[in-house]
Structure 1
Amino acid sequence: MDTEIIKIILAFVVLINPFSALTLFLDLTRGYSMPSRRKVAQISCLAIFVTIAFFTIAGETLLKVLGISIGSFQVAGGILVFLIAINMMNGEGNPVKPDQDNFDVEHVHEVIPSTASAVVPLAIPMMIGPGGISTVIIYSSQISGLWRVSAVIIAGFCISIFCYLCLMAAGRISRFLGDTGLNIMSRIMGMLLAAVSIEIIVSGLRTIFPSLL
């Protein structure tokens, strides 16, 4: 498999990190029957896949319309991802995703139907937020050819399936890992994400200053 595809799969796993949304999913679906809970998980993961596919296809065009160079966006996106990684390693979570402790789940149920809450806030921005969308745009701007574009979309589909499986096993995973296990996993993912962010920044600098690097 192409190393760039491996990088984006790694970035997807770490940035989307469905484990960070397990508590919110359990709160949003408290009292639901299993078919209703399954429907919420399906809609949420479909929203993740559609978001990844859309920005994979339209990401580079969007940058051109806004007059943003690929190199500049790579550096800016890499810095954003690096800040996310630092916060994750410090145990502070993802700074560009909402804090679950501040969610009034009962209020969300009042103003948003259950199927809509599967998209907002569960899928967006809880699982795929600005960092994930930026990463999709960055990698989509670096690839060309039907095969590579298809490979990224397939990677997004695989991550969506992974998220679905995690949500459906949310209760068991939360009981098995506990708060300590989830914090340890967040720190490990933060380390991996930091390495991915440096690769993005270096690639952006190489694009802006080809003679420097």
Structure 2
Amino acid sequence: MIGFDIREIVTVSMVLFAVIDIIGTIPIIIDLRSKFGHIESEKATLASGAIMIVFLFIGEEFLNLIGIDVNSFAVAGSFVLFFLALEMILGIRLYRDEAASSASIVPIAFPLVAGAGTMTTLLSLKAEFQTINIVIAIILNIILVYIVLKSSARIEKLLGENGLGVIRKTFGVVLLAIAVKLFAANVKGLFV
């Protein structure tokens, strides 16, 4: 296959793994599952994978078409992550969608898995690596996302109520820091 490179796949996979941070979002996933009853793992996985692959190919052109630059997109995503972090830290509920029967698409597929950070990272990776290697790395990360989503009930039982509370607040602060970093890295670009 033209452009196929194992080293590129490993590098891109590791970058995406760090940005998606599916392990770090386990408390959010468990929290959302307790609010909505269950999460459709297959639906969330396929949706997030499709969002990432489509954005890889047409993301920058789509944003340009509707007059939104990557920085604006990233800042908007940072606000969504900020409010999710506040929910986790303060134990309040800001996200209300009474008509939704699950949290599979919003907020799991977007913005937790395929959020602004992931999408801006994909645009950066596209400039450096072969597209086929990025697609394979996306698929590998999506498989891991599926495994974590499917295992969330077992993970919750393993951690218990107290362990889950501590982890939820800790990762809430981490998510808040990621939101602030994403905001800070992109807000300057809005005024240039």
Shared fold, TM over 0.5: yes
Determine the structure 2 residue equivalent to 1:12: 20
**Residue by residue, what CA displacement relative to the aligned partner does 1:18-61 show, whole Å, maximum 9, x if unpaired?**
5544546x9559xxxxxxxxxx6445423322222222332212
SS in 1 for 2:51: helix
Deviation at 1:176, TM superposition (A): 1.2
SS in 1 for 2:91: coil
Determine the structure 1 residue equivalent to 2:49: 49
- The amino acid that maps onto 1:13 is D
Counterparts of 1:61-76 in structure 2 under 5 Å? 61-76=61-76
Show structure 1 runs of 5+ residues with no match. Answer: 30-39, 109-120
Determine the structure 2 residue equivalent to 1:160: 142
Determine the structure 1 residue equivalent to 2:83: 83
Determine the structure 1 residue equivalent to 2:108: 127
Determine the structure 1 residue equivalent to 2:59: 59
Whether the 8 Å CA contact 1:82–1:193 is kept in 2: the answer is: yes
Whether the 8 Å CA contact 2:24–2:171 is kept in 1: the answer is: no
Structure 2 Cα separation of the partners of residues 45 and 72 of structure 1 = 26
SS in 2 for 1:92: coil
Whether the 8 Å CA contact 1:60–1:140 is kept in 2: the answer is: no
Structure 2 Cα separation of the partners of residues 129 and 178 of structure 1 = 27
Whether the 8 Å CA contact 2:53–2:138 is kept in 1: the answer is: yes
For residues 166 and 201 of structure 1, do their structure 2 counterparts lie closer, same or farther at Cα, with a shift above 3 Å needed? closer
Structure 1 Cα separation of the partners of residues 121 and 158 of structure 2 = 34
- The amino acid that maps onto 1:9 is F
Deviation at 1:148, TM superposition (A): 7.0
Structure 2 Cα separation of the partners of residues 83 and 16 of structure 1 = 16
SS in 1 for 2:92: coil
Structure 2 Cα separation of the partners of residues 52 and 195 of structure 1 = 23
**Residue by residue, what CA displacement relative to the aligned partner does 1:63-118 show, whole Å, maximum 9, x if unpaired?**
1011112233333332332232233222336x44x67xx689xxx6xxxxxxxxxx
Determine the structure 1 residue equivalent to 2:4: none
Structure 2 Cα separation of the partners of residues 173 and 60 of structure 1 = 37
Whether the 8 Å CA contact 1:88–1:190 is kept in 2: the answer is: yes
Deviation at 1:163, TM superposition (A): 2.7
Identical-residue share of aligned pairs (%) = 20
Determine the structure 1 residue equivalent to 2:3: none
CA RMSD of aligned residues (A): 3.9
SS in 2 for 1:67: coil
Whether the 8 Å CA contact 1:14–1:193 is kept in 2: the answer is: no
